[in-house]
Structure 1
Amino acid sequence: MNSDNNPNIKAVFFDIDGTLFSLKSKTIPESTQESIRKLREKGIKVIVATGRSINDLHHVNSIEFDGFLTFNGGYCMTVDGEVMFKQAIHPEDIKNLIRYSEQSDVGFSLMYEDKVQISHATPKVVQLYTNLNLKVPPLYDKNNSDIENVLQVNIFIDPQDEESFMQKVMPNSLSSRWTPLFADVNPGGVSKQKGVENFCKHFNIDVSETMAFGDGGNDISMLRFVKIGVAMGNASHNVKEAADYVTTDVDSNGVESALKHFGLL
């Protein structure tokens, strides 16, 4: 698709880390903030699409959004606080995970609607939360853990071990990855694509009227599903292959550049 086309876009979905928020400068580029403000002035819905929790969005609170697709689609909420969709991971998978971790020392975090708990404060875990500007969460209580309401898990496991781990330990769940440090694990059938579907239904928007930006493996389903999928210049190769268009990176005004390319600014 070229810049001569001016598609009838009614909603744009944005990943956060590496897309809106620079992991290098730890800021949102001014051009990105201004671009989003202009989209909303035109009546275009702007929706966060992140693997983060609804409670971990403080670093983008300078932007006004129309909805929050969090936990990779496992928890979707309107700007008014209405929960549109919520799905927990199969409890049997959480049981298996806890058992496996005790035998192998694989670290994990359990992510709930209102809290996050971790298994070990290993150097990898501490590095992750430092990179994301988040406090290291408390340890989970082995004798009193809530296995029924876990919305997402982070598994601190190497990429080459991910597939066999999922088959063996969490067969009812789905993994995706946007960093070598860990994999996101969500309920089977849950993805950012599913979240986009839920928001399209809520706003009565057809998927042919949607656009999305992302840079990580957990963005691939969303980029393939929307009308225009944009990969950031800092995205991994497989993400760029899944997109309709590759823009410049987050620190080089990538969001603004792509929106101008498609005639939305």
Structure 2
Amino acid sequence: MADWTPKVVALDIDGTLLKWLDGQAEDYETITAPVYDAIHRALDAGAHIVLSSGRSPHGMTRIADMLDIPREEADQLWVVASNGAVVFRYPPMEVVHEETFDAAPAVAAVLEHHPEALVAVEERAVGGYRVNRVFPEGEISGEQIITEVDDIIGEPVSRVIIRDPDATADDFLELASKLGLHGTDYVVGWTAWLDLSPVGVSKASGLQHVCDRLGLTAADVLAIGDGRNDIEMLRWAGRGVAMGQAVEEVKAAADDVTASVHDEGAALEMSRWFPPDA
């Protein structure tokens, strides 16, 4: 790839741009200077920066603001949210593509095995979530509106979060594999955190939508991420790079592995293609 330069840089947020840790209570939403500078060097070179996260849209706009993107007079930023189910431009927030599905059967199947699990669906109108019970502090952003599960999933949704603080990621991996969750795609997070989404929807499908609008292809994309929800994106991109602290299955899906988030891995990878001035 000696003559290759990314035209799109797709960046996961938590664990890639931000030093997220499971169980971390203090505010971790801090953009370091190396990450900030590398992103702006990419912009200087004409690359498109696309934030690509499992976060809901309202949880991503403040990260864009912290990065000072888009720049003044620049076109709206492209953002892939909710693990690819929502694609929007910002600012202002303008949803340009959304995938929804009937989550009720899959949620019922999971709750049969984890009846005390927490369930959440984005409530965009208030910048928060409808939840059956309040999530642990810092795990989801915005207002939490207590709602019965049947009402939470009573209509098509773009994404459902199921969280059991008393279980493990391995518990959820085993359960999801056993259930099959027909008609639904799923991703298990670092903890007992299950994201349910429409079949065929991932960060890769969301980024493909962005590339189609930009007149570019996957071959033009540098993607960086650390979670299981990044696997499709890393495989799809012209160059997919896993963060150093990623689990082995994420690293196996990538073309390369950079340093961990604590050692500025995202900045190091971007600097390979957009180096600082000598």
Number of positions where the alignment pairs a residue of Structure 1 with one of Structure 2: 255
| 2:10 matched residue in structure 1 | 13
Residue 260 of structure 2 is aligned with which of 225, 249, 253?
249
More divergent stretch after superposition (171-180 vs 190-199): 171-180
Q: What are the Cα deviations for residues 187-243 of structure 1, in whole angstroms up to 9, with x where unaligned?
A: 111101101110110111121111100000000000000000011112111111111
Residues 43-63 of structure 1 show CA distances to partners (whole Å, capped at 9, x for unaligned) of 100001000011112245211
Paired with 1:99 and 1:256, the residues of 2 have a C-alpha distance of 40
Q: Partner residue of 1:30?
A: 33
Aligned equivalent of 2:210: 199
Which deviates further from its counterpart, 50-59 or 164-173? 164-173
Percent same amino acid at aligned positions? 23
In the aligned structure 2, how far is the partner of 1:99 from the partner of 1:181? Answer: 13
For 1:260 and 1:6, how far apart are their aligned partners in 2? 15
Alignment of 1:77-226 (within 5 A): 77-80=88-91, 81-93=93-105, 96=108, 100=112, 104-114=115-125, 115-121=128-134, 125-126=135-136, 129-130=137-138, 134=141, 137-141=144-148, 144-145=151-152, 147-157=154-164, 158=168, 159-165=170-176, 168=179, 170-226=181-237
| Shift in alpha-carbon separation, 1:259–1:53, aligned structure 2, 3 A | same
Match of residue 83 from structure 2 = 72
Task: Quote the offset at 1:249 in angstroms.
Answer: 1.3
TM-score (norm. length: structure 1)? 0.85
Higher mean alpha-carbon deviation, 152-161 vs 217-226, is at 152-161
Structure 1: which amino acid aligns with 2:45?
A: K
Partners of 1:37 and 1:173 in 2: how far apart? Answer: 37
Q: Secondary structure at the match of 2:241?
A: strand
SS at match of 2:96: strand
- Alpha-carbon distance in structure 2 between the residues aligned to 1:250 and 1:86: 30
Conserved? CA contact 2:190–2:227, under 8 Å: yes
Q: 47, 50, 53: which is aligned to 2:50?
A: 47
TM-score of the superposed pair, with normalisation by structure 2: 0.81
In structure 1, the residue matched to 2:240 is: 229
CA-to-aligned-CA distance 1:113-158 (integer Å, 9 cap, x gap): 434121223xxx31xx4256x3572211457546224211111244
Paired amino acid for 2:66 = S
For 1:142 and 1:257, how far apart are their aligned partners in 2? 43
Pairwise CA RMSD: 2.6
- Summarize deviations over 1:14-68 as a string: whole Å, max 9, x none: 0000001112571222100111111112110000100001111224521115211
Unmatched 5+ residue regions in structure 1? none
**AA at the equivalent of 2:7:** K
Unaligned residue ranges in structure 2 (runs of 5+):
22-26, 71-76
SS at match of 1:47: strand
For 2:110 and 2:189, the matched residues in 1 are separated by 23
SS of the aligned residue for 1:138 comes to strand
Identify the range of structure 1 (216-225 vs 176-185) with the bigger mean alpha-carbon deviation: 176-185
